[in-house]
């Protein structure tokens, strides 16, 4: 099954995989070759990629995504998001600090627009922190 992860900066991933676990607005889904065609909204969170059927859970590759659209056919997956960060590109301490700053912004929001922006920043920061933690745990097992 072929995976394309496309961000505003261009194609981030373009490779064959065995399984994808993705956050959607309806909950987490797992996609294997032969999946029914589907178009769904991606939620901010962690994408997990298993490249080979024999890859163990601690060999999964993780990406923090900001939300977007997932298009699935029996042979391919195309994910369109504003941004995606690979686990090894995220520093856990920086992600934690960004999450704390976003939570502070939310608590100080003076109107609905500031509240919405802070909430989006919290979602993005929480996803990055989760992916950093998953990546860190993977490396140490």
Give 140's DSSP letter: T
pLDDT digits (tens, 9 = 90+) for 79-137: 999 889 988 888 888 888 888 999 999 999 999 999 999 888 888 888 888 888 887 77
What is 2-87's CATH number? 2.60.15.10
Q: Which of 96, 109, 84 is nearest to 5 (CA)?
A: 84
Domain range list for the chain: 2-87, 90-139
Q: Which of 139, 140, 138, 129 is nearest to 64 (CA)?
A: 129
pTM for this predicted structure = 0.82
For residue 51, the model assigns a pLDDT of: 95
Number of neighbours of residue 50 by Cβ within 10 angstroms: 19
- pLDDT grade, residue 34 (50/70/90)? very high
For residue 47, the model assigns a pLDDT of: 94
């Amino acid at each position: 099954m072929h995976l394309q992860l496309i961000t505003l900066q261009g194609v981030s991933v373009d490779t064959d995989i065995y399984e994808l676990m993705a956050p959607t607005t309806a909950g987490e889904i797992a996609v294997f070759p032969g999946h029914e065609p589907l178009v769904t909204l991606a939620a901010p969170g962690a994408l997990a990629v298993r490249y080979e059927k024999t890859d163990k859970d601690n060999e999964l590759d993780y990406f923090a995504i900001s939300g977007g659209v997932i298009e699935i056919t029996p042979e391919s997956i195309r994910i369109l998001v504003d941004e995606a960060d690979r686990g090894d590109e995220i520093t856990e301490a920086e992600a934690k600090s960004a999450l704390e700053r976003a939570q502070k912004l939310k608590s100080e929001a003076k109107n609905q627009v500031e509240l919405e922006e802070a909430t989006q920043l919290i979602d993005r920061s929480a996803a990055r922190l989760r992916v950093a933690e998953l990546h860190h745990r993977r490396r140490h097992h």
